[in-house]
Amino acid sequence: MSINKIKAFITAVEYGSLTKAAEILEYTQPSISHMVSSLEDEYGFSLLIRGKSGVAPTDNGLVLLPIMQDILKRDQLLSETINEINGMEIGRIRIGAYTSVCVHWMPAVLSLFNKSYPKIQIQLYEGNSQEIKQWLEDGKIDFGIGTTQINQHPNFIPLKEDRMLAILPSNHLLASHDSVELKIFTTEPCIMPYEDSHHDVQSIFKKEKISPNIAYQIRGDEAIIAMVRKGLGISLLSELLIKDHLPELCTKPIEGNYVRTIGILTNSSVQSLSPPSKKFIPFLQEWLQKNG
């Protein structure tokens, strides 16, 4: 069984293209095609449907895909564990994280981590809560950095509490108040994010049985902030997310001190993660203690 052949098949499925797989894995397109064909000959059935627009897994290919992904993951874990035993800090970490985390935490953390562990490669994927959940299920990432409900994700490791703030136009009538009540969202025109991009916001309203007066529903954070700035409504976002915009926005705490907890999301216990991941997580925790 060839790990390279398995990797060629998985990458071709992920990108829907033999050419793109060749580019990612640094092979020629004919070499990738030959690897997959060799697997098909070995297994006795087709793995890919090849067409003008790209490739897609056959039904049999779909059955084998998660098994192959697990084999690839375990092969990487084996190599990294051997390297750790030999005192070599080599490996790869795939992380999925919220935009706010990617913008405000990761540049500094990755820069410092790279200096301490230059041979550990990090792949960072920026996504929302739904995307991170899907990436974990598909094995695309080793762990996520986001938020969740504890009962929905038992392997959640809290990192930091992030206040939820009301954001208002600078000339709003409530701009002089020290804080605002959550119920103002029932009467004021609101600019709300979609649930798949900000489940923390939606969960607060659901918990308090409040139906916001939605004037606009937007997926992009920057668009929400821009519309609030122009006086089109108010919104509810996290402090970390609006950190760069604080000078140009009016922000108010919500009475009741609502927060979201940002943390590590894994499909299993931290003990089962790869050695590089187990180095990165305490590194991030220590950085947050000093800079968070």
DSSP per position, 31-87:
HHHHHHHHHHHHHTS--EEEETTEEEE-HHHHHHHHHHHHHHHHHHHHHHHHHHHTT
- Look at 120-124, 149-153, 158-162, 193-197 and tell me which has the smallest mean pLDDT: 149-153
- Is residue 228 within 8 Å of residue 165, measured between CB atoms? no
CA distances from 80 to 18, 53, 75, 220, 278 (A): 28, 37, 9, 38, 11
The pTM of this model reads 0.71
**Closest by alpha carbon to 286, among 147, 32, 144, 116?**
116
**pLDDT, position 174:** 86
- Residue 213: its pLDDT value, please? 92
Tokens linked to 85: 């035993």
Give the Cα separation of 200 and 65 in Å (integer): 33
The overall average pLDDT reported for the chain is: 88
Instruction: Tell me what the mean pLDDT of segment 3-24 comes to.
Output: 92
Give per-residue pLDDT as tens, 142-174. Answer: 999 998 754 566 678 999 999 999 999 888 888
What's the confidence (pLDDT) of residue 57? 94
Q: How confident is the model over 58-100, as pLDDT tens digits?
A: 999 999 999 999 898 888 888 888 877 776 678 889 999 998 8
Distance separating alpha carbons of residues 235 and 257, to the nearest angstrom: 16
What is the dihedral angle through the alpha carbons of 102, 191, 219, 130, rounded to the nearest 10 degrees? 70
The DSSP result for 164-186, as a single string, is EEEEE-TT-GGGGSS-B-GGGGG
Identity of the amino acid at 238: S
**Cβ pair 64, 13 in contact under 8 A:** no
Mean pLDDT on 2-12? 92
Residues paired with 163 in a beta bridge: 259
Residue with the larger pLDDT of the pair 129 and 185: 185
**Burial of 260 from C-beta contacts in 10 A (0-12 / 13-18 / 19+):** buried
The amino acid present at 62, given as its one-letter code, is L
User: In this predicted structure, what is the pLDDT of residue 88?
Assistant: 67
What is the predicted pLDDT for the residue at 153? 65
Q: Are 162 and 262 within 8 A, CB to CB?
A: yes
| Residue 112 banded pLDDT, cuts 50, 70, 90 | very high
Question: Looking up tokens 């409040």, which residue turns up?
Answer: 210
